[in-house]
Amino acid sequence: MVYDDFYVPTTYERVKARFGTNGGKRMSNQAIKEEITIEAVGKWGVKVGERWYKTNEPLTPQSFQRGVSYSVLVKDSGKNKYICQIVGEQAAAPSGVGSGPETDKRFTSSGNWDDRDKEKQDRIIRQGVWQATVQSPALAAFAGGSYEEFVEATRKLYAEGIKVVTNG
């Protein structure tokens, strides 16, 4: 690019000269038709094989059902694939895939609090009450000015907090 001595190109002009007319975006403007079968539906996309696909508006991940095959138009940004449009929908996949919502096993509880060690429960309760007591902004106003008064007021408030939490 050749410019006059006094002409300073805008940022847009510099980017256009360096990367082309799409402003440096890596995503192709051309959508490719793909046949996909949904293995999982997540909060931000759908899983197809080992890869997660994101969705462009007006589509959302909830537009898809697990185990169903779709013909879709996909744009590839290099890093992510984006589903732009659903062209067709086919019947559900064979029974090996399932039809219910997928549950992430990492976040399910193996039991409830009653089944856990009582000492661990008490330690967690004491830690939570102590943290809430020490962080109380009103405690400094009640304690007066000296450190000893603050420690005494903290211990009293902590003991009362434990009574309230454990006895209801």
Q: How far apart are CA 126 and CA 161, in angstroms?
A: 9
Distance of CA 8 to the CA centre of its chain: 43
- The angle, 0 to 180 degrees and rounded to 10, between the axes of the packed helices 147-167 and 118-134 is 140
Half-sphere exposure for 55 (CA within 13 Å, toward CB): 20
Q: How far apart are CA 90 and CA 86, in angstroms?
A: 11
Q: What is the mean pLDDT of residues 76-93?
A: 77
Closest CA to 84 of 95, 73, 69: 73
Q: What does the pLDDT read at residue 99?
A: 47
Query: 17 vs 68, which has greater pLDDT?
Result: 68
Overall pTM > 0.95: no
pLDDT digits 0-9 by tens, 23-81 = 445 555 678 888 989 898 888 889 988 888 988 878 888 888 888 899 898 888 778 88
Closest CA to 84 of 126, 140, 28: 28
In this structure, the chain runs to a length of 168
Q: How far apart are CA 120 and CA 153, in angstroms?
A: 26
Q: What does the pLDDT read at residue 119?
A: 79
**What domains sit in the chain, N to C, each tagged with a CATH number?**
27-92 (2.40.50), 114-167 (no CATH)
Tokens of 150: 């603050």
